[in-house]
């Protein structure tokens, strides 16, 4: 990820690489895995294991500071060892995993500093959104993801050494890192927080199938939901345009902007988008002032009509306004209206939000086709894809909780799988947050399948076998 990664939502093109761990080449698209469960009842006391830190054990402080200090301990040596260890973990090369991982495990100062960060009661990254807008620098995000990968390797080796309690502490640290990264009110930060959470779930799923794994139902059931809030991650997005474009930043009333101001606004947006394209491997293209003026002439009839109707003035008065000013106001206010139509859905629960957001984004795509010269439209992200990423992480945690609920039932029923999820009473199975309904479930012999086949783009299918 480029160090000049910006927080505006056009970085959504990076979502796939951020949210993916290193899956086997033959793995189906989606969350597909197999568990071999040893029947174990939940521990006593119920919260013997936790994936959050008890407030009593936390201190008053800002986790961002020790996280940034921990990043200073990373060097090329750790980078090389991490790449080898992750490849070995993917390829199931145990010898290379241990050899490469040892370099990381010996870095006690790094882990001590991360533990200090995790015990802080707040995490304020304080990104310079209002000062720098789209060009706010977020160089810590890539390093947070790197440290999460180091935790993934650490947990894997701890499991292989039979250090289950230590592996659980490492997993808890990963979950806290996910939440702390997602606390920044920026969409791309939320997406990286999700990526860290998904990476931590890989460690958790691996541990759950081990013969020495405890039952983690209550540790999972007591985790805060949502893991990373979509609403919070979007809270800073609307500020980017005003902080990035000087003319809009200094004016509270767009009618006060001159024709030249609007040319400057559109040129600045073009430059910002061009810089983003260059940073992400695309071909930069800055629109010239001549092109901006020519594009404005194409929407002049609609812009005049809109100005007259929205300002409640005669068309004759609208015709006296400079064409560039008419076009600028038209472009900008069409953008704001489209943005409101999308943002109004953010507070809805995902099952309701998903259908409406999909429909709204299609309507927006149609408007964008009708007015391709509106540079403001380039600033609106594909929020239906982003929203699904947030919901998928919570669905995964709900499904892992369901697996542990099934383990609990099997422990009390002499290794027998529950015929239906409704038969599990003491450790209730959570609903699927992506559908608002129960997970699909079927049993055949000593094998059960938990699935979500309704989410077409990223199915979930967990095959569960009980080992007596």
pLDDT band at 300 (very low <50, low <70, confident <90, very high): very high
Domain end residue (candidates: 201, 235, 269): 235
The vertex-142 CA angle with 137 and 145, nearest 5°, equals 140
Residue 403 in domain = no
Q: 45 preceded by cis ω (within 30°)?
A: yes
Contacts of 59 (CB under 8 A, 6+ apart): 119, 120, 121
pLDDT band at 11 (very low <50, low <70, confident <90, very high): very low
pLDDT of residue 8: 37
Residues 282, 329, single domain; the answer is yes
pLDDT of residue 15: 39
Residues 151, 299, single domain; the answer is no
Strands 59-62 and 120-122 come out as parallel
Q: What is the average per-residue pLDDT within 16-31?
A: 48
| Tens digits of residue pLDDT in 185-195 | 889 999 999 99
Residue 462 in domain = no
Domain that holds residue 117: 9-235
Q: Could you give the number of structural domains in the chain?
A: 2
pTM higher than 0.85, yes or no? yes
Residues 351, 271, single domain; the answer is yes
Domain end residue (candidates: 363, 385, 407): 385
Residues 260, 198, single domain; the answer is no
pLDDT of residue 285: 54
DSSP 25: T
pLDDT of residue 7: 38
pLDDT of residue 287: 63
Residues 224, 304, single domain; the answer is no
CB 418 within 8 A of CB 426: no
Residues 207, 254, single domain; the answer is no
Instruction: Flag the least confident range among 86-90, 190-194, 377-381, 418-422.
Output: 377-381
pLDDT of residue 213: 96
Higher pLDDT: 227 or 290? It is: 227
Closest CA to 183 of 117, 240, 246: 117
pLDDT of residue 250: 67
Instruction: Flag the least confident range among 33-42, 281-290, 392-401, 428-437.
Output: 281-290
pLDDT band at 242 (very low <50, low <70, confident <90, very high): confident
Residues 303, 230, single domain; the answer is no
pLDDT band at 283 (very low <50, low <70, confident <90, very high): low
Average pLDDT, the chain: 88
Q: What is the average per-residue pLDDT within 236-256?
A: 77
pLDDT of residue 267: 86
| Tens digits of residue pLDDT in 205-234 | 999 999 999 999 999 999 999 999 999 898
Residue 401 in domain = no
Residues 102, 197, single domain; the answer is yes
Residue 329 in domain = yes
pLDDT of residue 286: 56
Residues 269, 346, single domain; the answer is yes
Residue 304 in domain = yes
Q: What is the average per-residue pLDDT within 311-329?
A: 94
Burial of 248 (0-12, 13-18, 19+ CB in 10 A): buried
Domain end residue (candidates: 199, 217, 235): 235
Residues 144, 203, single domain; the answer is yes
pLDDT of residue 266: 87
| Tens digits of residue pLDDT in 388-410 | 999 999 999 999 999 999 999 99
Residue 433 in domain = no
Residue 161 in domain = yes
Residue 451 in domain = no
Q: What is the average per-residue pLDDT within 33-49?
A: 96
pLDDT band at 241 (very low <50, low <70, confident <90, very high): confident
Instruction: Flag the least confident range among 16-20, 97-101, 430-434.
Output: 16-20
pLDDT > 50? residue 3: no
pLDDT of residue 277: 54
Residues 188, 335, single domain; the answer is no
CB 434 within 8 A of CB 423: no
Dihedral pair phi/psi, residue 161, rounded to 5°? -90, 5
pLDDT band at 101 (very low <50, low <70, confident <90, very high): very high
Residues 88, 231, single domain; the answer is yes
Higher pLDDT: 29 or 257? It is: 257
Return d(Cα 421, Cα 355) in angstroms, integer: 27
pLDDT > 50? residue 102: yes
Say how many C-beta atoms besides its own lie within 10 A of residue 20's C-beta.
11
Closest CA to 71 of 167, 20, 139: 139
């Amino acid at each position: 990820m480029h160090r000049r990664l910006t927080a505006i939502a056009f970085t959504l093109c990076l979502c796939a690489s951020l949210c993916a761990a290193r899956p086997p080449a033959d793995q189906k698209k989606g969350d597909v895995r197999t568990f071999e469960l040893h029947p174990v009842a939940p521990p006593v006391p119920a919260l013997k294991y936790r994936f959050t830190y008890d407030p009593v054990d936390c201190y008053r402080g800002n986790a961002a500071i020790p996280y940034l200090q921990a990043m200073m301990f990373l060097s090329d040596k750790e980078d090389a060892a991490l790449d080898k260890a992750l490849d070995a973990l993917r390829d199931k090369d145990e010898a290379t995993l241990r050899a490469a991982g040892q370099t990381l495990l010996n870095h006690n100062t790094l882990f001590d500093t991360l533990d200090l960060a995790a015990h802080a009661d707040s995490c304020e990254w304080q990104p310079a959104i209002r000062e720098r807008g789209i060009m706010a620098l977020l160089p810590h995000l890539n390093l947070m993801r790197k440290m999460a990968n180091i935790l993934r390797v650490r947990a894997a080796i701890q499991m292989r050494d039979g250090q289950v309690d230590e592996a659980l502490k490492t997993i808890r640290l990963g979950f806290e890192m996910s939440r702390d990264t997602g606390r920044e009110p920026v969409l791309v930060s939320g997406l990286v927080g999700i990526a860290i959470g998904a990476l931590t779930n890989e460690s958790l799923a691996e541990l759950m199938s081990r013969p020495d794994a405890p039952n983690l139902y209550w540790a999972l059931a007591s985790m805060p939901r949502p893991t990373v809030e979509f609403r919070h991650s979007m809270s800073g997005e609307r500020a980017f345009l005003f902080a990035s474009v000087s003319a809009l930043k200094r004016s509270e009333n767009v009618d006060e902007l001159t024709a030249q101001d609007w040319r400057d606004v559109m040129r600045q947006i073009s430059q910002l988008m061009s810089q983003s394209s260059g940073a992400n491997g695309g071909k930069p293209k800055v629109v010239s002032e001549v092109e901006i003026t020519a594009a404005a002439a194409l929407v002049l009839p609609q812009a005049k009509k809109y100005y007259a109707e929205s300002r409640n003035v005669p068309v004759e008065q609208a015709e006296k306004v400079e064409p560039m000013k008419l076009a600028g106001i038209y472009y900008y206010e069409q953008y704001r209206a489209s943005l409101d139509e999308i943002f109004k859905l953010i507070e809805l629960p995902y099952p309701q939000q998903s259908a409406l957001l999909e429909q709204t984004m299609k309507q927006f795509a149609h408007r964008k086709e009708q007015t391709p010269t509106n540079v403001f439209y380039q600033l609106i992200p594909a929020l239906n894809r982003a929203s699904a990423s947030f919901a998928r992480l919570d669905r995964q945690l709900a499904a892992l909780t369901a697996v542990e609920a099934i383990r609990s039932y099997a422990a009390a029923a002499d290794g027998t799988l529950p015929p239906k999820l409704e038969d599990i009473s003491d450790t209730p199975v959570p609903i699927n947050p992506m559908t608002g309904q129960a997970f699909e479930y079927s049993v055949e012999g000593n094998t059960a399948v938990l699935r979500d086949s309704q989410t077409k783009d990223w199915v979930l299918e967990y095959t569960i076998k009980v080992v007596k």
